[in-house]
Amino acid sequence: MKAYVKSKISNGLGEVEFHHPKSNSLPYSLLEQLSLEIKQLGDDDNVKCILLKSSGSKAFCAGASFDELLSIENELQGKQFFLGFAKVILAIKQAPKLVVTSVQGKVVGGGIGLVCASDYVIAHESASIKLSELSIGIGPFVIAPVVQRKLGLAHFTNMCLNPKQWKTSAWALDKGVYSEMYSNMDDLNLRLSQLINEYVNYSSETIFKIKSMFWDGFESIEKEMEKRAEQSGQLVLSDSTKKILKSLRSK
């Protein structure tokens, strides 16, 4: 099945789903579509809550597309690609509605940024997480502000410096990446429905003000992420990073 981003609105819920055949990895085109769909739902008066999810039952998101990382030829292209993650994070942050994310499986790299930017996250117990960037010669620069916002510096450092180590879903729940965790998808989906039914009936004005409070102190995050996208765009061009990416892609 080809990659896609699709959305629908029903009973006050705006639902966004993304898919990529390679473990729901994210090329720039999908990141761009995701940010636009979330923004449109945020601006739609018929939407009271936004649900973000991915297709399938295994990986929620494998992070940046290796194919696209390998196709980057200059720093400007590199910066533009990594700004794709910043756009989605900003769309989630700026949406005047709660963004609830359902995580059915493993999350890697940039995908963790989307999860940590979300207002409430319900995960399956198989949804372990990993910041793999250092192992391929780059760093989680763009997503750092939102991941550190949830984890705190100590646990963020732990993840950054252990790029080959999976952290369990129980660890992610304990550290605040996930809000709730379930051992089977039926229970997860039941809880998700209950939660959304509550959120679509709360005061929109109050939700907006509460969400703004959650992001207190992050007024300059857009400039910060742009600067960090530039750093990532430079590092992804190195010979060592290209070599590692080619090796991983061929597996």
Share of residues in the chain with pLDDT > 70 (%):
99
pLDDT digits (tens, 9 = 90+) for 32-83: 999 999 999 999 999 999 999 999 999 999 999 999 999 999 999 999 999 9
> Does some domain include residue 55?
yes
Predicted pLDDT at 249? 73
Predicted pLDDT at 21? 96
Query: Residue 132 pLDDT more than 80?
Result: yes
Confidence of residue 216 (pLDDT cuts 50, 70, 90): very high
> Does some domain include residue 230?
no
Predicted pLDDT at 11? 97
Confidence of residue 251 (pLDDT cuts 50, 70, 90): low
> Does some domain include residue 216?
no
> Does some domain include residue 73?
yes
> Does some domain include residue 234?
no
Structural domains of the chain, count: 1
Predicted pLDDT at 43? 98
Which residue type, as a one-letter code, is found at position 133?
E
Predicted pLDDT at 1? 84
Domain of 143, in residue numbers: 4-185
Predicted pLDDT at 248? 80
> Does some domain include residue 213?
no
CATH number at residue 128: 3.90.226.10
> Does some domain include residue 215?
no
Query: Residue 175 pLDDT more than 90?
Result: yes
Average pLDDT, the chain: 96
> Does some domain include residue 251?
no
Q: What is the mean pLDDT of residues 140-161?
A: 98
Q: What is the mean pLDDT of residues 4-18?
A: 98
Share of residues in the chain with pLDDT > 90 (%):
96
